A and B are shown apart, each in its own frame.
Chain A
Amino acid sequence: MDLGQWAFLAANAVFLFMSLVILIAFLENRSSRDPVAKKHPSITVVIPAFNEEAHVAKTIRSALSLNYPSKVNVVVVDDGSTDNTLRIARSFGKQGVVVLHKQNGGKASALNYALKRVSTELVACLDADSTADENALLAMAGFFNDERVGVVTPAVKVFPGGSLLQRIQSIEYSVMNYMRKSGAFLDAVFCTPGVLSVFRTGALRGVGSFDEGNLTEDLEIALRLQKSGWRIESCLNAWTYSDAPSSLGELLRQRLRWYCGALANGFKHADMLFNKKFGHLSAYFLPMNYVAALLLVFIIAKVSFDYALAAYRFVAEHVSYLSVGVTPTLAQIVSENADPLYFASLQALVGAASLLLFLFALKISFDSTGERFSWWHAPVLCVYVLFYGLVVGFAWASSIAVHFSGVKKKW
């Protein structure tokens, strides 16, 4: 076995360890139920919108239909849209929706603009292309019984249906929900997604609101809140739906922003890394994020090379077969490769073990967010396992290159 193969095996072992930390934390705590709310603090749902004429109406309707014993204020911040977003938002004025308009400054600036005008105890951020289940706020409210809780994050799902790419992302989102919940059990959540994360208004103001220059303000605020001693909870019974990218180009652009943001925030809050004060977040989850990214890039590079080599061999061999009229039939290929010992390599075992672990994690993640495994998951899972990692790995590699090249990435 050469050095590359050993490195591949070692990288997989590290991944295995990371996966098991998350899995064990989840399994040990999964029986704990969401707390029942002792009171329902007043709340404002802020919808920052920039050129969202296609979705904003649906998002506002979703916010207006949220079940909650106290009044739910809905504020739309039009962030200098050049389309009909403002007009559409204003059409909901009769239903009590407050519409603010400002010059374009990015999502964080829109949120801060609204935050200055919020008078409720809680404030939720709802991206203008997302919706929430009507009982989402009710499910989350109980977590605020604990005065140390500064944010509660929901389970984010991709809108049902959609393209193959969106279906693949729905699997990824499911895994992220499970990881976030596991992180919450260990006080180690490092992202508060913009799809109805609910903040304690005082906590948000206390840490200076969102960082307006940040590519991933939802990640940055999570770190800053925890630095200030606030806890972040995750509620898998609060279901929200996001519009995932439908094309590869869109997905890569989104990931480039996410991962460049993650890298920038890693450096910004480097003092949190391995700092005992922040427990599992700094000792494990935060470093894990970056180590996993590097390992992913390495593993993906190796797997890509192997795929490319296998594809080259397949094509070259078949061209040769054709040239001398000996192309084998499928039956021949099957019979020639019938010996299982041809395939049962150490790498194949590692792959199979990783796949089983992934499927198990996915199953418990689905179970926890009220989703059911259906037949369409099978082909989607195949594509996910075979190719999606390549896309994410490529996005991480590109992000690392962009970050260290000093190119300024905009929101």
Chain B
Amino acid sequence: MKAALATLVIFVIGVSVGGFLDSTRFDDARTRLDFASSQADESRLGLLFFQTFRGNPNFCGAFAVQLETVGSYLDKLGVELKRYGEANSLKDFDALKRKYALANVEMWLYSLNFKRSCSLPQQTPVLYFYPDKTVCADCEAQARVLTSLKQKCHSSLLVFSVPADLDIGTVNVLKKQFGVEQYPFLVVGENETVSKLSSAQELSKRFPALAQCA
């Protein structure tokens, strides 16, 4: 009886602590995602502002900084969501991952609009597709390649990562549009694609804009 009670107490404490940690992880990730969403809202307003007062000279500089900041933020958030999701037991992280995927797609679309609106040929937005549910060793390596390029290119390379196997309608449309069938998969600029693991040199060789900063 004592052993049963002790087991119950330890088990309840363990599950409670585990639940608390899960909640901490979940709340932390949700807060960051909310912040990223608010940044996306701000970007939307910025773009609207630019379209309304076309040619405002302050816009392009401010928006470039904004996109780089949000891009880096989302990048870190992506790593956190992946790790937290793996450590998580009781909370459903898929909903957060879906929001994260949509925030990235949204920011990627803004970055394309920004590139056009501000006429910045050296700026390279990249949409990076990877699987969330399966092991993809090449994707881990591709993420490192993109991170190393980003460190050299700063605002001229904007990477937006999308977990592609969460069955999100918009993401599925994008996958179909670009013919995403395997991972890692990159959409560089508006429509150029890379469908296999590529080193920094290979990417720089193929995309001159990257060669300049790398």
Contact = CB atoms under 8 A, between A and B. Distances in A.
A321 B135 contact: no
A21 B22 contact: no
B135 A349 contact: no
Given A13-B7, A345-B21, A316 B137 contact: yes
A20 B6 contact: yes
A270 interface: no
Interface string B105-116: 000000000000
A312 B145 CA distance: 21
A346 B15 contact: yes
A24 interface: yes
Interface stretch (A206-214, A232-240, A251-259, A323-331): A323-331
A344 B3 contact: no
B18 interface: yes
Given A17-B3, A316-B135, A349-B18, A324 B87 contact: no
B3 A5 contact: no
Interface residues of A, number: 36
B7 A317 contact: no
Interface string A349-368: 11001000000000000000
B89 A323 contact: no
A345 B89 contact: yes
A333 to B, nearest CB: 11
B55 to A, nearest CB: 41
B18 A16 contact: no
A343 B84 CA distance: 8
B145 A324 contact: yes
B138 interface: yes
B51 interface: no
A353 B22 CA distance: 18
B199 to A, nearest CB: 4
B35 interface: no
A341 B14 contact: no
Instruction: State the majority secondary structure of interface residues on B.
Output: helix
A345 B148 contact: no
Contact of A350 (B14, B135, B198, B199): B14
A21 B14 contact: no
Interface string B1-39: 011101100110011011101101100100000000000
Contacts of B2: 20, 24
Given A13-B11, A316-B135, A346-B14, A324 B199 contact: yes
Interface in B53-91: 79-80, 83-84, 86-90
B144 interface: yes
A5 to B, nearest CB: 7
B95 interface: no
A13 B202 CA distance: 52
A341 B3 contact: no
A24 B141 CA distance: 51
Contact of A342 (B87, B135, B140, B199): B87
Nearest to A314: B137
B200 interface: yes
Interface in B114-165: 135, 137-138, 140-142, 144-145, 148
B29 to A, nearest CB: 10
A21 B84 CA distance: 35
A16 B22 CA distance: 22
Contacts of B135: 309, 312-313, 316
A125 B87 CA distance: 52
B24 A341 contact: yes
Nearest to B29: A341
Given A24-B3, A324-B198, A349 B14 contact: yes
6 shortest interchain CB distances as A-B pairs: A346-B18, A316-B137, A320-B141, A324-B199, A326-B144, A346-B89
6 contacts: A17-B3, A323-B197, A324-B200, A339-B83, A345-B86, A345-B87
Given A324-B198, A324-B199, A341-B25, 6 more contacts: A323-B141, A342-B86, A344-B21, A345-B86, A345-B87, A349-B21
